[in-house]
Amino acid sequence: MYKNHIKKLFDYLGAVIVLTMLSPLFFVVFIILFITTKNSVFYHQKRVGQGGVMFDIYKFRTLPKGTPILVGKQRIKIRKRVSRFARFLRTTSIDELPQLFNVLKGDMSLIGPRPVVPQEVELVNLRKKLGAMNVKPGLTGLAQVNGRKQLNNIQKARYDAIYAQHVSFKGDVMIILHTLPIIIERDGVRRFFEKKH
């Protein structure tokens, strides 16, 4: 019952609450990007959704318009094209917050496998094979709280499949509670300010 009905309400109410709470942050980020970028503040990109259906994901723009889509180790090539402020948005995951609008639209869930670009063929195929495509992609997920970027594609797909097979309210709450500390401690604010520029 939760997976097919209550989760939708959970996602909608959660997205509304978070958007309301973070509206001042949205406004500040919007103004800074509007002043510092020559392109639009937001950008959309095709991602693979539930059942393999493509959808447009929303993010704050952190790369110049026309930057090629690179996956895996190739991503290191675009680091020099990222400004310090944009790098801060990326390392703290603030650039991902507009995806709350994807949740409101019904393209995504608060919790689920992270949506990937179609160019990540191996991961997409592994998810299909293991049954991880049966749920909506999420802002955060089981793989994100169990290693995130340290995981290889097989490990990510397995965690995604485990989540898809055992969706529950308790599980979603636990993933949410584990997500924020991980962003701050492992991938976010501390790393950004400790890194030499």
CA angle 13, 104, 139 (to 5 degrees): 85
Q: What is the arithmetic mean of pLDDT over 57-80?
A: 66
Q: Is the dihedral of CA 115, 46, 181, 171 positive or negative?
A: negative
Tell me: pLDDT of 184 over 70: no
For the chain, what is the mean pLDDT? Answer: 86
Counting Cα atoms < 13 Å in the Cβ hemisphere of 138 gives 28
Question: Amino acid identity of 17?
Answer: I
Q: Kindly indicate the confidence band of residue 142, based on its pLDDT and cuts at 50, 70 and 90.
A: very high
Given the DSSP bridges, would you call strands 109-111 and 54-60 parallel, antiparallel or unpaired?
A: unpaired
Q: Is the per-residue pLDDT at 135 higher than 50? A: yes
Domain positions in the chain are 2-30+41-194
pLDDT of res. 75 = 54
What's the pLDDT at 3?
Answer: 87
Decide: 160 and 94 in contact? Cβ < 8 Å.
no
What residues contact residue 104 under an 8 Å CB cut-off, 6+ apart?
12, 15, 16, 19
The lowest-confidence range among 32-36, 62-66, 70-74, 176-180 is 70-74
| CA distance to 89, 99, 142, per residue, from 5 (Å) | 33, 21, 21
**b or e along 144-177 (b: 16 or more beta carbons within 10 Å of the residue's beta carbon)?**
bbbebeeeebeebbbbbbbbbeebeeeebeebee
Q: Which residue has the tokens 């603030």?
A: 94
Six token digits for residue 144:
């994100």
Dump pLDDT digits (tens) for 30-44: 999 998 877 789 989
**In angstroms, rounded to a whole number, what is the distance separating the alpha carbons of residues 138 and 126?**
17
In this predicted model, which residue has the larger pLDDT, 139 or 185?
139
